[in-house]
Structure 1
Amino acid sequence: MRLVFWAGFWTFLLDQASKYLVVHILNLRTVGEMDVIPPFLNLRMAWNTGVNFGLLSGYGDLTRWFLIILALVISAAVLWWVYRDTPNRLGLLSAGVLIGGALGNVVDRLLYGAVADFLNMSCCGFDNPYAFNVADITIFVGAFGLILWGGKQKHP
């Protein structure tokens, strides 16, 4: 469980530090966008009040509190699952990064009322209109890792 804690801690810290840098130091909330490695990587400020791609964003505080509670319940369920099933090290690491990312987005919703998304990637003539953040990446990677390595450890 120590691996889950530390993976979650460092993931949460990286997510919140990147958001602080982008929102407050680079002032992307006012500037709006910055090209980093055009067209592949750009910073585009987007405040997501819903779930992925802004789904359910039109319901205000109801959606905000529902998503906060949902993220906390899922994080607790993942913790309970890894405690009960004791997956291998990659499973524990996956659980930690998923939980750290989920809690990073919870903090955004509590502080700003929305999740701070800012990474935008496009390629090969496709102009991606959506933005995401470090927490979104780690939630995806953690969930995928739990699918691959989340089962019980096999003891010889």
Structure 2
Amino acid sequence: MATNKKTFSTSSPSMNPWLGIAAIVILFDQLSKITITKMFRLGDELVVTKFFNLVLAYNRGAAFSFLSNESGWQRYFFTAIGIAAALFIVYLLRKHAGQRLFCWALALILGGAVGNVIDRMVYGHVIDFLDFHWRGLGHFPAFNIADSAICVGVGLFILDELRRVNK
């Protein structure tokens, strides 16, 4: 005798799409870093436009090379912060999977954070290669795809908060 079993699931949205976005960021970030390290030596520079170069740089610190000249403890410190941030973001994604803009922001930040943690764990430093400058006024610190994803994610997070406040 066949029975018709119905399974009832909670209708809470899945966090899988957000983890997928983070995975895509990690993939592009790591592939770009592998490519640049195979094509360049440390300090090599390729002028692409009047305002943009590709350059291989290593960052042992955090954003804008903060603490990069320290004795090495910062590698473990920033790795731990990155891992803690990633775990907290996964928790937030699980809890708020239905909030699209918020989760886009979190997914981009997660992908960027994990991309840079991978660098710290594998190489002992973050690989940077995107170099923007403007009319001889100096160069913005070199950065990478992970950093870009984090910045876009923070921008989306701010936009989401502004939209939430205005409701």
* Percent identity for Structure 1 against Structure 2: 32
Q: Tell me: CA distance 1:73–1:30, structure 2 relative to 1, closer, same or farther (3 Å).
A: closer
Structure with the largest fraction of helix: 1
> What is the match of residue 9 of structure 2?
none
What CA RMSD, in Å, does the superposition of the two structures yield over aligned residues?
Answer: 2.0
Task: Tell me whether 1:77 sits opposite 2:88 in the alignment.
Answer: yes
- Matched residues, number: 149
Correspondence for 1:5 among 12, 19, 26: 19
> What is the match of residue 28 of structure 2?
14
> What is the match of residue 126 of structure 1?
137
Per chain length, whose mean CA-contact separation is higher, i.e. which structure has more relative contact order (CA < 8 Å, sep 6+)? Answer: 1
Name the aligned partner's letter for residue 79 of structure 1. Answer: V
Cα shift at 1:122: 1.1
* Cα distance between partner residues in 1 of 2:78 and 2:93: 22
Name the aligned partner's letter for residue 17 of structure 1. Answer: L
* Cα distance between partner residues in 2 of 1:146 and 1:42: 29
Ranges in structure 2 where 5+ consecutive residues have no aligned partner: 1-14
Name the aligned partner's letter for residue 32 of structure 1. Answer: D
Please give the residue correspondences for 1:132-151 in structure 2 after superposition, counting only pairs within 5 Å.
132-149=143-160
In the superposition, the TM-score normalised over structure 1's length comes to 0.86
Mean Cα deviation higher: 117-126 or 100-109: 117-126
In the superposition, the TM-score normalised over structure 2's length comes to 0.81
Ranges in structure 1 where 5+ consecutive residues have no aligned partner: none
2:56 counterpart SS class: strand
> What is the match of residue 47 of structure 2?
35
2:94 counterpart SS class: helix
